[in-house]
Structure 1
């Protein structure tokens, strides 16, 4: 997989070389590249933005630099997807991350200021993603979140001691509580069932705790699980 990120702040992406994502790069599972938008500026001053028509306050990223930057990645020729990170995009999810992990080439467009010219969204962007109902200063942090969520699902990205199969959302509900040594910490003990060695009881406990946590913290997901189970789609 190849991921290109169009940005005016390429230095923000240093964390991509760390942890699981960094290891996946070193192992050749994917490549990550930043495309510096100012390399495609409309003048010698590095201009890539301008004031919006209609008198609205703020600035908008111009279409010419963005179009040239996207074209430089050859993503369309590769059959890949151009993704714009924006607050008014579709909500990002584990399901969407899983779908994107099967793509060969992704281009992530990081907006700034008031966003990007609408004509780029209409002519070049295949998918628009939001990471939540809040606004951040630019698309760099959302792009890193999307990259991490997608890359860790690539075959071989997680080591043998790690698995995404039991992560929250991977099976539907949230994850269950986890414990490690010591057996007693500040007066609190590990649940007895986890020390029993009885695999069926442990499995049942994990499922019950997972559903309990989901019902308490994400009633929207819990309700959907109940509906899916009722109609036999779970």
Structure 2
């Protein structure tokens, strides 16, 4: 996969791209990335990329010309269907399912804006996906793009040391992840559940499923509304509702 990031502040991505999973993924050749300061594409004699909104109002709006020219320069000819992602509080709420969908693409282009917003023609003509990482407003789209990139890159083949890790993450199965324990078996009077020390893999899998469903029921019951529960899961949920 190749990722292009259109931003006025490319240096913001240095830390994210040069550490941890993101760096290792690049070293493995799982993905490549370039940050592009779209100010370099402006034809404005004062090097401006924003202007006052028609009709008045507070703030400044990103002009279409630099964004259009930058995308046309980096998107290969004949690849008009390349996913162009606009980080925007008006976009669809970001989910693990969306991360899995994007991880199957060969190229992603992120547009990170600042100021009051974008000229609407950018949305209409260039953008394929508008994504929001939450119902709040950030100074710019850079932090949101970092979140999406991280969640997508970790799903690429051979990025994680254990391929099962991604599939067992919270939300990948539609449930929150089960509790985890490690050594020592007893710490300050708190003990690891006996089943995890039993060596009985079937019982361990059942315990993890039970705890995953219970944690989802207690913390994010809205997720269960989207899930078709098995007979056993229904029995467990019924028990918790009664308790």
TM range (shorter): over 0.9
Q: Kindly state the Cα deviation for residue 76 of structure 1 after the two structures are TM-superposed.
A: 6.3
Once the two structures are overlaid, the 10-residue window that deviates more, 153-162 or 49-58, is 153-162
Unaligned runs of 5+ in 1: none
Q: Aligned to 1:229, what secondary structure does the other structure show? A: coil
Partner of 1:169: 171
How has the CA–CA distance of structure 1 residues 177 and 75 changed in structure 2, closer, same or farther, with 3 Å as cutoff? farther
Please give the residue correspondences for 1:119-158 in structure 2 after superposition, counting only pairs within 5 Å. Answer: 119-158=121-160
Unaligned runs of 5+ in 2: 232-243
Partner of 2:47: 46
Q: Kindly state the Cα deviation for residue 161 of structure 1 after the two structures are TM-superposed.
A: 7.5
How has the CA–CA distance of structure 1 residues 6 and 165 changed in structure 2, closer, same or farther, with 3 Å as cutoff? same
Q: Aligned to 2:229, what secondary structure does the other structure show? A: helix
Of 195, 206, 209 in structure 2, the residue corresponding to residue 207 of structure 1 is: 209
Structure 1 consecutive aligned stretches of length 4 or more whose deviation exceeds 3 Å: none
How has the CA–CA distance of structure 1 residues 76 and 176 changed in structure 2, closer, same or farther, with 3 Å as cutoff? farther
Q: Aligned to 1:87, what secondary structure does the other structure show? A: strand
Partner of 1:94: 96
Q: Kindly state the Cα deviation for residue 42 of structure 1 after the two structures are TM-superposed.
A: 3.4
What TM-score comes out, normalization by structure 2 length?
0.90
Alpha-carbon displacement from aligned partner over 1:86-106 (angstroms, at most 9, x marks no partner)? 001011111111111111111
User: Which whole-Å CA distance do the structure 2 matches of 1:76 and 1:139 have between them?
Assistant: 26
Q: Aligned to 1:173, what secondary structure does the other structure show? A: coil
How many correspondences in the alignment?
229
Q: Kindly state the Cα deviation for residue 113 of structure 1 after the two structures are TM-superposed.
A: 1.3
User: Which whole-Å CA distance do the structure 1 matches of 2:71 and 2:86 have between them?
Assistant: 11
| Matched-pair contact (CA < 8 Å) for 1:75–1:105 | no
Partner of 1:64: 65
What TM-score comes out, normalization by structure 1 length?
0.93
